[in-house]
Structure 1
Amino acid sequence: MLAIEVVLAAVDPVPTFVFDEVDAGVGGRAAVEIGRRLAMLARHVQVLVVTHLPQVAAFADQHIRVTKTSVRGSDGKTASGFTSSDVQLLDDEERVKELARMLAGQEDSESARAHAQELLDDAKLLPQQA
């Protein structure tokens, strides 16, 4: 789907693309390539991506974390059937923490934080390669 959208963008440009889990079912090198191609597309148009893969997220210029919480009923125990969402724009340090959490399930792991920083550093270099 991503390839089709990129080709169509060259023919009929639109100002914004939204991709919701375009990386579903992939990982590793394929995820890095998807992130790289999204970054290349973002040179020309605005690109919004929903992803659970740190390899893809690392290519973003900005990160927004969305957290969802089930709202409890008035008794504090039963679910009310509503979900509350919180949206937060992340600064540089929070980006590293969030990628570390995505990688290892914990943001305090020193090795996960190092890997997260490496992903961010590598992502800055890869989009320049066509």
Structure 2
Amino acid sequence: MGRLFWLVLACTLLFIAPVKSSDIELDGIVVDRTLTRFGKEFLYYYSGYWRDLPNTQGFIVTVHETVYPQAGTKLWIEVNQQKVFETYFGRRYNNIKEKADQGMLATIDKVTEIKANIMLGKSEQQW
């Protein structure tokens, strides 16, 4: 049984066409570094907005969270490793959707700035 499985697997791998790197296209990636329910809920709203943005390929967004047990949570967003937004949540419920809206507006500003710099030749990046 084991030999048959490995034989079928080997034959399958021989006939699979290799994927060229030019065939793979990833649009804007959102990396989740959140820890708490507040962070996960923030990311839920934020990533919903991010999916709706056009032309986000080439951008990596990371949502970080640090928990302070007596004080609450610090949450920040980075676009291509540059911090664009930072907020704090208390220990009680906050208006998370409103903070996700604010974070998205800051992200849109940064993405627009990066694209404008590329179009004006002020940046070596390409998208």
TM-score range (shorter-chain normalised) is under 0.3
Q: Which has the larger radius of gyration?
A: 2
TM-score by length of 1: 0.25
